[in-house]
Amino acid sequence: KQEVTQIPAALSVPEGENLVLNCSFTDSAIYNLQWFRQDPGKGLTSLLLIQSSQREQTSGRLNASLDKSSGRSTLYIAASQPGDSATYLCAVKGTYKYIFGTGTRLKVLA
Amino acid sequence: KAGVTQTPRYLIKTRGQQVTLSCSPISGHRSVSWYQQTPGQGLQFLFEYFSETQRNKGNFPGRFSGRQFSNSRSEMNVSTLELGDSALYLCASSLEGFNEKLFFGSGTQLSVL
């Protein structure tokens, strides 16, 4: 049974810092991994999608890596801004559904 | 291009009632999936519809059901509501439901009293 864990559960950093969010999963048989951002009381916004055959994806200040063999993914956020404050979730796609982690709640202080 | 639209945004019901939630996917998207989000359990998969057929189903009781119409709009129904059904219900759409990004609606916040 696939389990997805995100550490840390919460993170508070000053503006401008580079930071890394972690996601680990127990079953390496995945089709893809997505990173999402969720603002309070809102839906999720897909940030990056990494196919199982890829090692990383980049979009602006965001970079996500995937290491299937070790069951790990990281989301790197460069030069963090207060607008980056949100909950970040990773999700892995198995045979027929996505399994979501519980998220990392990020607060970037001005 | 319009995003995923979910209605209503908020709902308050009492135990034993039933409720229907609606989701309109992005134009051209044929896969619609539903998720339940609670503080204790996080995001859990309910079911996925593709071309009016339920393609996959999560581990929820039969009180949770859904359907998809020919225009890809989807509805989910919960009968005999329980207090534990209080949650944010999210739907997501994608082109084919395989290896593409998921686009989520803002959700329906259901409170069961």
pLDDT confidence band for B95 (50 / 70 / 90): very high
Please judge whether A45 and B104 are an interchain contact, meaning their C-beta atoms are less than 8 angstroms apart: yes
Tokens of A42: 């809102």
- Residue A30: closest C-alpha in chain B: B99
pLDDT at residue B38 greater than cutoff 80: yes
What are the pLDDT tens digits along chain A (110 aa)? Answer: 899 999 999 999 999 999 999 999 999 999 999 999 999 888 999 999 999 999 999 999 999 999 999 999 999 999 999 999 999 999 999 888 899 999 999 999 99
What is the distance between the alpha carbons of residues B91 and B106, in angstroms, rounded to a whole number?
8
Question: Average model confidence (pLDDT) for chain B?
Answer: 95
pLDDT digits (tens, 9 = 90+) for B67-89: 999 999 999 999 999 999 999 99
Q: How far is A17 from chain B (nearest CA, A)?
A: 28
- pLDDT for B2 equals 83
Q: How far is B1 from chain A (nearest CA, A)?
A: 15
| Residues of chain A with C-beta less than 8 angstroms from the C-beta of B4 | 43
- pLDDT for B66 equals 97
Tokens of A51: 């196919």
- pLDDT for B98 equals 78
- Please indicate if any CB of chain B lies within 8 Å of the CB of A83: no
- pLDDT for B62 equals 96
| Residues of chain A with C-beta less than 8 angstroms from the C-beta of B43 | 89, 91, 100
What is the distance between the alpha carbons of residues A17 and B7, in angstroms, rounded to a whole number?
39
- Could you tell me the sign of the dihedral formed by the alpha carbons of B86, B64, B21, B37, in that order? positive
Q: In chain A, where do the E strands start and end?
A: 4-7, 10-14, 19-25, 32-38, 44-51, 56-59, 62-67, 72-77, 86-93, 98-100, 104-109
- pLDDT for B96 equals 85
- pLDDT for B99 equals 78
pLDDT at residue B49 greater than cutoff 90: yes
pLDDT digits (tens, 9 = 90+) for B53-72: 999 999 999 999 999 999 99
- pLDDT for A75 equals 97
Q: Which of A32, A91, A96 sits opposite B56 (nearest CB)?
A: A96
- Please indicate if any CB of chain B lies within 8 Å of the CB of A105: no
Question: Average model confidence (pLDDT) for chain A?
Answer: 95
